[in-house]
Structure 1
Amino acid sequence: MQSILSHFHYTDPGILEQERSKIFRQLWLFACLSSTLAAPNAYASLSLAGQPVLIQNCNGEIRAFKNQCPHRLVPLQAEGFGQSPMRCPYHGWTFNNDGSVKSIPHESNLYNFSSEEREKLCMKRYAVEIVGNMIFINLSENPLPIEKQFTPEILDKLRDISTHFSAQTAHITVEVDYNWKLQYENVLDYNHVPYVHPQSFLPLLTKDNSSNLTKKKIEQPSIPFFPDVPSTLNAQSYHTRAALKIPPQPWHSMVDRYGEGGFFENFFLFPNVNFNCAEGMVFKIEQYEPLTPSRTAVRFTMAVAKEKQRIRALPAILSGCIRNDVNVLHEDRMYLERLQKGLHAGSPKVHHGQYERYLISFAQVYEKLLKGERPW
């Protein structure tokens, strides 16, 4: 069948603004791991739906704000991660844990705010849900219950698996020149793996871990055939599992593996997260933040399973893991950037095969949300 989406869903600036308004600013979005904010005044700052967001440890409670000082709109925290009180670096304003103004240097001489004006000088606050070790933020004034977006089964699974992460994590952001939906559709599509990743990812799905596969030797991996997927919001976030074998490394015996191992577990979290676990030892969260209709920031968060003993080489291990996943992204990138460049007013709609049920359902729910419908 043909997709209900057309070229302009991937190229039109007006569509991007609708996505931000009707999808990203209405749904729960993954922000960061709570383990990265364990220390007092620890923070994370990032862009969500085009909005600057600050997540801060406020006296042991995780809170989220718009990362803008109400005075001149300068970000309070400029780095991705750090540890400092909420203080504007531009004019020295400081803020309480609820986002209200705590102090303004030389306030009476320089500003002369009335009590009513001063009370309004408050940072905008956002709703927070912590699921295990994962922090989700909702930018809406009236956020929907997170259970409307994710099923209880998915939430329970996320709570369980995310508590197995090591305390130390690695982060990197890669910007690519194509629409965010192309990347999300790509990770929903298992069928491209033998053709795009024959040397990187495919060998891990084979019995012998052969590293010298050529395209002539490629065997089709087992592709799950999904039944019709309901076009409801919570049906878009789901879990899959496939056999996987990582070549053994010395550090594997030094971590507390999640589950029984031997599997690659994927969590597709609508609208823009692919979270996976390799053999219960390596965890990656990949998130797609739209920058323009044809440019996307891909954010990686990488962890290994909790250490049973100190691993001195853990920074190097995390660096190697994240480098491998970035390499896989670059393999996809070559094709997706070509695809994006070829989209134009005369581009035909794509054709979906039977196995692409989740891509079809994704498009249906996406379109409902753009129309302002409530598919839950």
Structure 2
Amino acid sequence: MIKPVLPPVCYTEQGWFDREQEKIFGKLWLLAGLTQQLQAENDFIVRNFSGVPVLIQNAGGTLRAFRNACAHRGMPIQIADCGNRRLTCPYHGWSYNGDGQLRGIPNEKIYGLCKKEQANLKLHSYAVETVGNFVFVNLSDDPLPITEQFSDDLLLLLREVSPHFAPEVSYSTFTGHYNWKLNFENILDWNHAQFVHKQTLAPLLQFESGGGFSAASKNVSILFGPDSPLSDIRFTGELPPADPIGLKDISVIGRSSMPYTQRWFAKLFDAPLDPGSFFACNIFPNVNFGSIHGEHFYLQQFVPMAPDRVEYHSWVFTARLKHGVPPQPHLLWGIHHAEKRVIDEDVVLLNGLQKSLSVASTVGTMGDHEEPLAVVGRWYMEHLQEEGLS
């Protein structure tokens, strides 16, 4: 038996939420999107990271991140969630170069700004890192190296699977009424699948008699087979628990058996990349990425907006299609629709759990298989607890 680490107040009180914004989301690398969304000059995506408006834009082939606020009056430079548009404020027409430096001001004389004053005007920028097709942003003025947040194995996996992604992406977002940590704990808690997802996900999985997942073979896998750069990757279950717990230790990589049945869309791909398995990367602080048979991929993110509110982001995309096969929007829609059914099954319960925690004095017991949840909790308390707080 494992004693739960986090008290209910960590999920419900504003003080804990504020410290999270400072010590986790203000310092760590956060997923912003995928390079598939930023292929052309002036392609952009807009994100709201717990109240911080962030704009990621393709500027001459380089991805840049800025606070989505004009240096003039703070108006968002880009209003839409995504699109293709130059760095020009829609309010008064102030425009910016790709590095965020002020480019020009219409009706310049009415402002009375000298050349030196104009030279000092620019968009506030943030650090950007791309790992394969994954775009990360760091809001800190002194960001830690991304290699200090993620293990070599995780970074290698993200880089090596990215060339297999199709360019077309289905993306959606919605709001949940629960604390973001409940979602991260939920994806670590593989045991819930056979009870919550009885008719959606669970029938696809292969459970052992004791309730665990069967290990997946690497022999038939293009991604993880003997000749793959990922052949020696260490999955979390194969590693001893870290002591002391480091930041790299709380992102989890898993891979398990999933019986493979060829579906109608299999003929659209050269070959299934990872038949008979699914893999999942639970990437701290708030991302879930994985694949079903290497034929399609899911990417989920739960952005905290309040102690009891999360902005959920969901991306779905397939493996690359055979040469000459046109884009398949209907396939993406179907996969995403099925993905949302599974997500909705979790959301209903997490909304209820949040309400329960708001009036709870303690959290119950945990089993040995929930050790990864306790590991995250111990790291959290070590880095966020302050004297006099409990």
Same fold (TM over 0.5): yes
Equivalence for 1:341: 355
Do structure 1's residue 8 and structure 2's residue 9 form an aligned pair? yes
Equivalence for 2:142: 142
TM-score, normalisation: structure 1: 0.91
Equivalence for 1:299: 313
CA–CA distance in structure 2, aligned partners of residues 33 and 7 of structure 1 = 34
Per-residue deviation, 1:219: 8.1
Equivalence for 2:287: 273
When the two structures are aligned, how many residues end up with a matched partner?
Answer: 361
Equivalence for 1:211: none
Equivalence for 2:121: 121
TM-score, normalisation: structure 2: 0.88
Residue 191 of structure 1 aligns with an amino acid whose one-letter code is: N
- Contact 2:43 / 2:83 at 8 angstroms: preserved in 1? yes
- For residues 289-311 of structure 1, give each alpha carbon's deviation from its aligned partner in whole angstroms, at most 9, with x where no partner exists: 01111111110111100011344
Stretch moving more, 75-84 or 142-151: 75-84
- Runs of 5+ in structure 2 lacking a partner? 216-236
Residue 347 of structure 1 aligns with an amino acid whose one-letter code is: S
- CA distance 1:336–1:263, change in 2 (3 Å): same
- CA distance 1:117–1:180, change in 2 (3 Å): same
Per-residue deviation, 1:119: 2.8
Stretch moving more, 257-266 or 71-80: 257-266
Residue 125 of structure 1 aligns with an amino acid whose one-letter code is: S
Equivalence for 2:156: 156
Stretch moving more, 241-250 or 264-273: 241-250
- Contact 1:47 / 1:53 at 8 angstroms: preserved in 2? yes
Equivalence for 1:210: none
- Runs of 5+ in structure 1 lacking a partner? 208-217
Residue 176 of structure 1 aligns with an amino acid whose one-letter code is: G
CA–CA distance in structure 1, aligned partners of residues 100 and 26 of structure 2 = 20
Stretch moving more, 256-265 or 31-40: 256-265
Do structure 1's residue 367 and structure 2's residue 381 form an aligned pair? yes
Equivalence for 1:102: 103
- CA distance 1:241–1:282, change in 2 (3 Å): same
Sequence identity of aligned pairs in percent?
35
SS at match of 1:355: helix
Stretch moving more, 117-126 or 79-88: 117-126
CA–CA distance in structure 1, aligned partners of residues 270 and 311 of structure 2 = 32
SS at match of 1:65: strand
Residue 220 of structure 1 aligns with an amino acid whose one-letter code is: G
CA–CA distance in structure 1, aligned partners of residues 15 and 205 of structure 2 = 41
Per-residue deviation, 1:221: 4.2
Equivalent residue for 2:213, pick from 202, 215, 222: 222
SS at match of 1:261: coil
CA–CA distance in structure 2, aligned partners of residues 340 and 164 of structure 1 = 38
CA–CA distance in structure 1, aligned partners of residues 51 and 19 of structure 2 = 12
Per-residue deviation, 1:32: 0.8
- For residues 146-171 of structure 1, give each alpha carbon's deviation from its aligned partner in whole angstroms, at most 9, with x where no partner exists: 10011111111110112211000010
- CA distance 1:14–1:256, change in 2 (3 Å): farther
Equivalence for 1:38: 39
Per-residue deviation, 1:255: 1.6
SS at match of 1:163: helix
Stretch moving more, 244-253 or 92-101: 244-253
- For residues 103-129 of structure 1, give each alpha carbon's deviation from its aligned partner in whole angstroms, at most 9, with x where no partner exists: 1110112x1113343233210111111
- Contact 2:273 / 2:295 at 8 angstroms: preserved in 1? no
Residue 240 of structure 1 aligns with an amino acid whose one-letter code is: G
SS at match of 1:356: helix
CA–CA distance in structure 2, aligned partners of residues 41 and 129 of structure 1 = 18
Per-residue deviation, 1:205: 0.7
SS at match of 2:141: coil
- Contact 2:206 / 2:213 at 8 angstroms: preserved in 1? no
Per-residue deviation, 1:175: 0.9
CA–CA distance in structure 2, aligned partners of residues 145 and 139 of structure 1 = 13
Do structure 1's residue 27 and structure 2's residue 40 form an aligned pair? no
Equivalence for 1:214: none
Equivalence for 2:227: none
Equivalence for 2:253: 239
CA–CA distance in structure 1, aligned partners of residues 112 and 305 of structure 2 = 39
- CA distance 1:69–1:339, change in 2 (3 Å): same
- For residues 269-290 of structure 1, give each alpha carbon's deviation from its aligned partner in whole angstroms, at most 9, with x where no partner exists: 1110000111001101100101
SS at match of 2:24: helix
Stretch moving more, 342-351 or 17-26: 342-351
SS at match of 2:266: helix
CA–CA distance in structure 1, aligned partners of residues 24 and 382 of structure 2 = 10
SS at match of 2:357: coil
- For residues 61-118 of structure 1, give each alpha carbon's deviation from its aligned partner in whole angstroms, at most 9, with x where no partner exists: 1111111111111111122221110011111111011101111110112x11133432
Residue 59 of structure 2 aligns with an amino acid whose one-letter code is: C
- Contact 1:229 / 1:357 at 8 angstroms: preserved in 2? no
Per-residue deviation, 1:204: 0.5
Stretch moving more, 283-292 or 7-16: 7-16
CA–CA distance in structure 1, aligned partners of residues 276 and 214 of structure 2 = 17
SS at match of 2:76: coil
- CA distance 1:250–1:28, change in 2 (3 Å): same
Equivalence for 1:69: 70
- CA distance 1:136–1:256, change in 2 (3 Å): farther
Per-residue deviation, 1:8: 1.2
